[in-house]
Amino acid sequence: MSNKAVSYAGPGKVEVVDIPYPEFELKDGPGVNPANVGRKVDHGVILKVVSTNICGSDQHMVRGRTTAPEGLVLGHEITGEVVEVGRDVEFIKKGDLVSVPFNIACGRCRNCKERKTGICLNVNPDRPGSAYGYVDMGGWVGGQAEYVLVPYADWNLLKFPDKDQALEKILDLTMLSDIFPTGFHGAVSAGVGVGSTVYVAGAGPVGLAAATSAHLLGAAVVIVGDLVEDRLAKARSFGCETVDVSKGDPKDQIEQILGVPEVDCGVDAVGFEARGHGDNAQTEAPATVLNSLMDITMAGGSLGIPGLYVTGDPGAAEPAAREGSLSLRFGLGFAKSHVFVTGQCPVMKYHRGLMQAILHDKVSIAKNVNATAVSLDEAPKAYADFDAGAAKKFVLDPHGMVKAA
């Protein structure tokens, strides 16, 4: 059976290629850790991919800003229909429509049992934590494809209770694999609650998901900062205040909005390719957002940091940043007794509740992030448009099921 997929083809390039149809065994290939080759996956299922999204984290690799090998099949945001079930799967059945957390987790290790599924100890020989189609994550094949293998299916998969209802809301539900829980995790980690004032750095899809989540959690004022006016306009479309960081320090603009230059809660949805503020807005300065958040978050506040930071960035302008070392004003954070929450979002902690919010019309995440469905063959153009700052969340539709719905 054919299986077209999107692969990394070198800095600035992706291509649609033919790859083998999945089997219940992890095969050798680009990025696969040798210790994972031959690993049996009788606890897994094979999905017909219904939708699979392009993520800002994918863009970091495609820009050549990680150590990702050429030929790596991309895609960690997956929603699909079960077409084959492994020997050891008990509860997930053929025909089920499911959301796949981007974290791959075994469900057996200490961290999984403590709900820390973003840092599972058993799926990646390189380090705790794993994901589909991502550099240094063990080599599990990505889901920007027609078909994909998902391990530990009974544990990992979120089954939608009504298939027809789910297909009607598929553009919303596809966000459950990553950006909606990730944005929600950023807001929860920052301590957002009823009446909070919140600053979200970054108006890409994760930033907009964090802003949406802040509203869902009861925030009084949500302020979103970015350099791209189209993205800021999208934030304003669902009730956010906005800050154009190219016009100066966010602190001054926040004071104009709130009357004080600080917020209760701060969220970094930018990550390691951050740029400066004001006159330096076109200059890469990877610690800018973190230092700014310490400056504008009240003493005793928390910083949720769902934005990606890496241990290896070969494209960094500074030697230290190539190893993930940033010039942080950590003394400021210490003086203000800030709490920092970093790392992969443990998707399973949130995705069922967020699914219920979608199914019962409590939130419109697809509208807020401007979800835009395109075919698998259109993936290279979608990557290029997203990289250019398009205010869209591109959803790949390998089998035309999103369009049909």
307, 341, 375 - which closes a domain: 341
341, 361, 384 - which closes a domain: 341
Beta pairing class for 221-226 and 241-244: parallel
Q: pLDDT for 228-265, tens place per residue? A: 999 999 999 999 999 999 999 999 999 999 999 999 99
Average pLDDT over every residue of 278-284: 83
| pLDDT value, residue 278 | 86
pLDDT higher than 90, residue 312: no
| Domain boundaries, position 310 | 180-341
Measured CA distances, 317 to 59, 80, 272, 284, 309 (Å)? 18, 39, 11, 8, 15
| pLDDT value, residue 310 | 87
Tell me which of 131-140, 282-291, 325-334 is least confident. 282-291
| pLDDT value, residue 321 | 85
Nearest to 155 by CA among 213, 106, 226, 217: 106
Q: pLDDT for 194-221, tens place per residue? A: 999 999 999 999 999 999 999 999 999 9
pLDDT higher than 90, residue 320: no
Spatial distance between the Cα atoms of 318 and 330, rounded to a whole number of angstroms = 19
Whether residues 275 and 319 share a domain: the answer is yes
- The three state secondary structure string of the chain is CCCEEEEECCCCCEEEEECCCCCCECCCCCCCCHHHCCCECCCCEEEEEEEEECCHHHHHHHCCCCCCCCCCECCCCEEEEEEEECCCCCCCCCCCEEEECCECCCCCCHHHHCCCHHHCCCCCCCCCCCECCCCCCCCCCCCCECEEEECCHHHHCEECCCHHHHHHCHHHHHHHHCHHHHHHHHHHHCCCCCCCEEEEECCCHHHHHHHHHHHHCCCCEEEEEECCHHHHHHHHHCCCEEEEHHHCCHHHHHHHHHCCCCEEEEEECCCCCCECCHHHCCCECCCHHHHHHHHHEEEEEEEECCCCCCCCCCCCCCCHHHHCCCCCCHHHHHHCCCEEECCCCCHHHCHHHHHHHHHCCCCCHHHHCCEEEECHHHHHHHHHHHHCCCCCEEEECCCCHHHHC
Whether residues 319 and 350 share a domain: the answer is no
The rounded percent of the chain whose pLDDT value lies above 90 is 91
Whether residues 46 and 129 share a domain: the answer is yes
pTM for the whole structure = 0.96
Nearest to 21 by CA among 41, 1, 43, 49: 1
**Can you give the CATH number for the domain in which 60 is found?**
3.90.180.10
- Decide: 265 and 191 in contact? Cβ < 8 Å: yes
- In this prediction, residue 276 has a pLDDT band, given cuts at 50, 70 and 90, of confident
288, 312, 341 - which closes a domain: 341
For the record, the structure tokens of 243 come out as 């800050």
Phi, psi of 239 (to 5 degrees): 95, 15
CA dihedral 51, 57, 61, 62 (to 10 degrees): 60
**Can you give the CATH number for the domain in which 256 is found?**
3.40.50.720
Q: pLDDT for 76-98, tens place per residue? A: 999 999 999 999 999 999 999 99
pLDDT higher than 90, residue 224: yes
Name which residue leads in pLDDT, 186 or 317.
186
| pLDDT value, residue 203 | 97
For the record, the structure tokens of 179 come out as 């950006």
Whether residues 213 and 328 share a domain: the answer is yes
Whether residues 89 and 21 share a domain: the answer is yes
- Decide: 37 and 100 in contact? Cβ < 8 Å: no
| pLDDT value, residue 280 | 83
pLDDT higher than 90, residue 279: no
| pLDDT value, residue 284 | 85
Whether residues 334 and 365 share a domain: the answer is no
Whether residues 197 and 237 share a domain: the answer is yes
Whether residues 185 and 173 share a domain: the answer is no
| pLDDT value, residue 55 | 96
Average pLDDT over every residue of 374-400: 96
| pLDDT value, residue 286 | 86
Whether residues 31 and 148 share a domain: the answer is yes
- Decide: 217 and 267 in contact? Cβ < 8 Å: no
Number of domains in the chain: 2
Whether residues 306 and 360 share a domain: the answer is no
pLDDT higher than 90, residue 388: yes
Spatial distance between the Cα atoms of 154 and 4, rounded to a whole number of angstroms = 26
| pLDDT value, residue 102 | 98
Whether residues 337 and 350 share a domain: the answer is no
Whether residues 172 and 184 share a domain: the answer is no
- In this prediction, residue 103 has a pLDDT band, given cuts at 50, 70 and 90, of very high
Q: Average per-residue pLDDT in the chain?
A: 96
pLDDT higher than 90, residue 106: yes
